[in-house]
Amino acid sequence: MADINDIKQIINDPKTVKIIGTVGIEGAPHTAVKQSLHINDAGKLEYIELFESSKSYRNITGSLWYDKKVSISLIGENRESYTIFGSPDRILIAGREFEKVYTKTLEEKGYDIAAIITITPEIIERNDPKEKFEKQDSSRLFYKHLDRLKKVDL
Amino acid sequence: MTIKIGRENELKFRDVVEKYPEIPKLIILKIDVQRRGVYYTQNALNKIDPTIYQVTGANIFFAALGARDQTTKSVPESLILRDGTTIITDPTPLEQNPYIVDYRDGKFVLVDNDEIVEEVGFWEKPDFYGKLTSSGTPMDSIVFGRPQRLNITPSSYCHFWKNDNGCKYCDLVPHLKEDGVIKKKLTPQDAYETVREAIKQKGRYTNICMTMGSDINGKTPFDAEADYYIDILKAIGQNFEGRRFPSQIITTALNEEQLGRIYNETGLASYTSDIEVLNEELFNWICPGKAEWIGYKEWKRRLVAAVDIFGKGNVNTGIVGGVELAKPKGFKTEAEGLKHTLEEAEDLISKGVSVVYIVWVPRPLSFFKDQQNASLEYYVNLTIGLDKLRKKYGLEMDFDDYRRCGNHPNSDLLRV
């Protein structure tokens, strides 16, 4: 498993596509692009939730409340890709830290914000198909179609 | 003083968390902290910087006024959890078994039985605190800031106390009299200036809530109360663009003519009138002033009528959760209290009036000072019951949720 600091650059790169996957309390999945996602000073994932009424805000709150995981998919400019699984541990809705981000977002983009979400990363997976197939092929014999196993002279 | 005895058989926090997984642990913790109160260690108080955090001050509704711990002078106004949940709670003496707020390993924490239960934060001090209006009134004596809401308290007197008909759980007037802090009414100009100053702080507030004691005066009873709200709301409204601004008033149950005037002449966006207890006999006993001047059935009728004026989702009523069990006239068992409360709540909710509750804290200067509040399990079931009813009838409550208010465990659940 990669270390969060090993992929800090790709996470913080504004050209990386950053997608948060959450599940509602009724079980419905939801994904949303969150380009504000970055690694904060404490080494945790952090992003700005703009919409108070959004499914992702409801779901991330539910995840914190009911100890559910969320996923973060990253696709870098060079197609390098990772999936991170983690647990939301803080939803900041008020205070100086909130107001600082609120003011910056309002000035730069003209948007209100609902909260600043912090997620503790727990599992990091690299999504390189070649690496993943190598791993699967070496450990899961039954996951391979037989034609790929046949002798070359048959 | 409230003495907690005979509660050994009640389920404790961790038992209730295990038994009711559908209610978030942090909301159950909020309820329990409100039931039991908090005690701040000297170590914690030493680390609380009053230039950063909001400590108890001059406002009539601040947490320490009339609190269970009468020795409290300067403590954090209230708490906030890591999910943004607000806990408005009383400082409470150690002998009453409160949660402990301590500072350990660089963090403020809630402690119970010497075990850390959760990290905790405090409300931050608003920028307008310490400033004066042009008339010389300290702004923080008339308006105080919750994490995301401005609370305006225009008058500190409730006229129901004139003939000793104040609500039996309320200690506001006795306490104010004792402390000699009954103050002059807020002027519209002071209100305008304070709100103008407060909203200079970007990102701090999403709602303005105004409440005060009942005022029976006027040609029709409570005309004076309605007129006063109109004056203040008109003044505040000059700070905002547009016809309406995020706002709530919590008043006596005003009639349609009074509510119509408030709605049409001001930018008010939502309306609350607290019925306090959902049973006519108990209402008459616990809230004799409300019963004398309006009556239970009329109170309910006016709430429903308010929905036609303010719209569905913009009207609610508050109850003092657990006061329906007060002795000697209250429900004899928690099961009975819950059943009847939810039945009456459904009647209102089905007609578009949301119901929120606060946790009853028997305060030392109230008539009910020697009583005890309900079990944690009771409050969790009240939370579940009210939330189910809200969902059943499809009611939203944006104006009184976790951010716009933060004092109602059942409306906290609207977040998911």
* pLDDT average, residue stretch A23-31: 95
Test A99 with B204 for CB contact under 8 angstroms.
yes
pLDDT of residue A154: 82
Picking from A58, A89, A102, the nearest residue to B203 by CB comes out as A102
Whether the pLDDT of residue B141 is over 90: the answer is no
* pLDDT average, residue stretch B109-116: 97
- What are the tokens at A43? 């080494």
Domain membership flag for residue A151: no
Q: Does B124 reach chain A within 8 Å, measured CB to CB?
A: yes
Picking from B24, B202, B403, the nearest residue to A65 by CB comes out as B24
* Alpha-carbon distance A63 to nearest alpha carbon in chain B (angstroms): 9
* pLDDT average, residue stretch A127-134: 91
The whole-chain average pLDDT of chain B stands at 92
Picking from A62, A90, A99, the nearest residue to B203 by CB comes out as A99
Domain membership flag for residue A154: no
CB-CB neighbors (< 8 A) of B148 in chain A = 93-94
3-state secondary structure of A60: helix
CB-CB neighbors (< 8 A) of A96 in chain B = 52, 124
| H or E segment to which residue A127 belongs | none
Q: Does A105 reach chain B within 8 Å, measured CB to CB?
A: no
Domain membership flag for residue A140: no
Of the listed ranges B79-88, B181-190, B361-370, B392-401, the one predicted with least confidence:
B181-190
Domain membership flag for residue A149: no
Task: Quote the number of domains for chain B.
Answer: 1
Q: Does A33 reach chain B within 8 Å, measured CB to CB?
A: no
Query: Which tops the pLDDT comparison, B4 or B317?
Result: B317
% of chain B with per-residue pLDDT over 70: 92
Question: Which DSSP symbol is given to A148?
Answer: G
Domain membership flag for residue B106: yes
Domain membership flag for residue B336: no
N-term to C-term CA, chain B: 38
pLDDT of residue B72: 59
Whether the pLDDT of residue B13 is over 80: the answer is yes
* Alpha-carbon distance B344 to nearest alpha carbon in chain A (angstroms): 28
Domain membership flag for residue A148: no
pLDDT of residue B6: 61
Domain membership flag for residue B394: no
- For the stretch B220-276, pLDDT in tens is 999 999 999 999 999 999 999 999 999 999 999 999 999 999 999 999 999 999 999
Name the region of B71 (left: φ>0; alpha: ψ -120 to 50; beta: rest): alpha
Picking from B27, B52, B148, the nearest residue to A93 by CB comes out as B148
Domain membership flag for residue A132: no
pLDDT of residue B407: 96
Domain membership flag for residue A135: no
Domain membership flag for residue B69: yes
pLDDT of residue B60: 46
Domain membership flag for residue B219: no
Question: Domain containing A61 — which CATH number?
Answer: 2.30.110.10
Domain membership flag for residue B311: no
What is the ipTM metric for this complex? Answer: 0.92
Domain membership flag for residue B65: yes
Task: Quote the number of domains for chain A.
Answer: 1
Whether the pLDDT of residue B160 is over 80: the answer is yes
CB-CB neighbors (< 8 A) of B147 in chain A = 93-95
Domain membership flag for residue A45: yes
* pLDDT average, residue stretch B29-35: 98
In three state form, how does the secondary structure of chain B look? CCCCCCCCCCCCHHHHHHHCCCCCHHHHHHHHHHHHCEEECHHHHHHCCCCCECECCCCCCCCCCCCCCCCCCCCECCEECCCCCEECCCECCHHHCCEEEEEECCEEEEEECCEEEEECEECECCCCCCCECCCCCEHHHCEEECCCEEEECCCCCCHHHHHCCCCCCCCHHHHHHHHCCCCCCCCHHHHHHHHHHHCCCCCCCCEEEEECCCCCCCCCCCHHHHHHHHHHHHHHHCCCCCCCCCEEEECCCCCHHHHHHHHHHCCCCCEECCCECCCHHHHHHHCHHHHHHCCHHHHHHHHHHHHHHHCCCCEEEEEEECHHHCCCCCCCCHHHHHHHHHHHHHHHHCCCCEEEEEECCCCCCCCCCCCCCCCHHHHHHHHHHHHHHHHHCCCCCHHHCCCCCCCCHHHHHHHC
CB-CB neighbors (< 8 A) of B83 in chain A = 61, 64-65, 90-91
Mutate to test the interface with A, among B52, B125, B129, B415 (most CBs of A within 10 A): B415
Test A106 with B415 for CB contact under 8 angstroms.
no
Q: Which domain holds residue B45?
A: 37-122
Q: Which domain holds residue A71?
A: 4-127
Q: Does A60 reach chain B within 8 Å, measured CB to CB?
A: no
Of the listed ranges A62-76, B76-90, B102-116, B182-196, the one predicted with least confidence:
B182-196
3-state secondary structure of A31: strand
Q: Return the residue of B nearest to A92 by Cα.
A: B84
- For the stretch B51-107, pLDDT in tens is 999 988 645 454 445 566 656 567 898 999 999 999 999 899 999 999 999 999 999
Domain membership flag for residue B142: no
